[in-house]
Structure 1
């Protein structure tokens, strides 16, 4: 009988533990455990659920997302091997429920986290505002969770005094385009322009403004960018590649398309400010806009072409029970009955108090 190798199960387990303790994090956010977290945020009714179901190959009708929802995906790596697991969170309500970002973004999953920002291309007037608020809210929570994770590691018995590598700060290659001019999002970020079929109905100049602006934003945050539509199998195939790259670490493909007349497909690191060019401001002198920085300049140019709508999602009704998209006839009828009973009770109580005041 051959001698058993010294690489026993215990040796392999010890090596795995050492790898985790040393901060063994993959380049795009995945850990050696085979579990990753993907957080979807974006435009209200922008198609996040539909895109997610298609990426998971689930043949079921999409339902409006109520606040924050969780699901998961699994992928077999091979015969008799543990499956990779992707924890998938989706935030509904556009920007109105951004406070809930703190729930899926925690110190426990920060090293395996990636974010997908879905922007509705058919509504360019609210696109910048949606992007800006959600990116800022997500970045703030990621940084907070990172700080908490680092403090937790340092508090462990026997922890090293040096700065821990458990922060998910992305270290870009030295040859990354415009490395010193951009502000990388702290975890892998994918920006998805949804409803490309409706976007095609815009005139050529407006499409150019949206396309160039999103290229700038994606490059500024060191994010990947893709335009897609659930009505196009070819575009959804490419979208699935990007999703599987974040969720399971698969190859995202090498396709790159920066032509504004076609759907944009630009993996992170494939663009540059030189290729993007200057903001498309044909009717105004850019120097007269008094921008504080390049991002502010692009914002001013974009909002000249697409003035932001005055309706703020924060002012919208936040009670899902009164939102028509969540209609449930039986439940709504019971709710109406209970509301009437409550109003009657309030009136009776008010009368009794008035009677007591008169008697006194």
Structure 2
């Protein structure tokens, strides 16, 4: 049975030709469960519906006319992954990429015991899939729920910020702190996605490295001296973080042929929704991707 990304790839490949980074972009959004991925995406796409739980992999798209550059429109393909991070590599391998590619990791700042696992698993999956590719995706780390995180103990905030900045420096990632509850931060995150999807990439006119305020650090603009630690490897950064903030205890799950599926989707309600989504994707008449959109890709 084909996966959702594989089915979508077949559909898009039949109609999608002559694309490049000027008229097509791809955003892959992944990270902490319930970390605010869908809320940010709905804001960017100007959807008024209440955000719903992501069904493993969800596809959306945005389109913008761009007559000034002689291009009819720019299309942005957006993949949001809400499944278990352990299966992320398989999903990435099957996800179609069109034009310039941005890989966005959403981190829940309130779940400090899970932050390192999220960063490590998501960056490792990206490296595993794209290390031998002709071009790697541009990495963006978006840290959500800052409205709650800002009230944490000062030393905890310093440790978290120092560690995330170190990862961003080592991985050459853009770094942004965000909250859906604070309009200026929500607007900044939405503008960032808009520029990624339809503009020239991540804007660099703003920058903040003070951990007592929401961070915004474009890639290649930070230094070890500014972070306040000696140049480090990723393992050294991990060791410092784990020493100060112990990770959450992970409960093992039995492995078997059926266990692999259970590991990815342990809730019966999610299993039912997944079956429905597969059914929809296999029925061209009920696809969420409208036929007028698919036909427009050849124009």
Q: TM-score, normalised by structure 2?
A: 0.75
Question: Secondary structure of the equivalent of 2:60?
Answer: strand
Is 1:271 the counterpart of 2:248 in the alignment? no
Is 1:119 the counterpart of 2:70 in the alignment? no
Alignment CA distance shift 1:313-1:264 (3 Å)? farther
CA contact 1:67–1:97 (8 Å) conserved in 2: no
How far, CA to CA, are the matches of 2:138 and 2:151 in structure 1?
Answer: 31
Once the two structures are TM-superposed, the CA of residue 125 in structure 1 deviates from its matched residue by: 0.4
- Per-residue displacement from partner, 1:208-267 (whole Å, max 9, x unpaired)? 111111111111111100000111110011112221222112462511011100000111
1:101 aligns with 92
Of 316-325 and 55-64, more deviation after overlay is shown by 316-325
User: Paired residue for 2:149, among 189, 199, 202?
Assistant: 199
1:39 aligns with 28
| Runs of 5+ consecutive residues of structure 1 not aligned to the other structure | 1-19, 147-166, 169-185, 280-292, 332-360
- Per-residue displacement from partner, 1:262-312 (whole Å, max 9, x unpaired)? 000111122111111117xxxxxxxxxxxxx62211111101121011125
Higher RCO (C-alpha 8 Å, min separation 6): 2
1:87 aligns with 77
User: Paired residue for 1:301, among 218, 233, 240?
Assistant: 240
1:150 aligns with none
Q: Which has the higher strand share?
A: 2
| Runs of 5+ consecutive residues of structure 2 not aligned to the other structure | 1-17, 277-299
Listed as ranges, the matches of 1:280-359 within 5 Å are 294-311=233-250, 317-318=262-263, 320=265, 322-323=267-268
Listed as ranges, the matches of 1:226-241 within 5 Å are 226-241=176-191
Alignment CA distance shift 1:258-1:204 (3 Å)? same
Of 128-137 and 316-325, more deviation after overlay is shown by 316-325
Alignment CA distance shift 1:215-1:321 (3 Å)? closer
Number of aligned pairs? 249
Question: Secondary structure of the equivalent of 1:97?
Answer: helix
Alignment CA distance shift 1:203-1:327 (3 Å)? farther
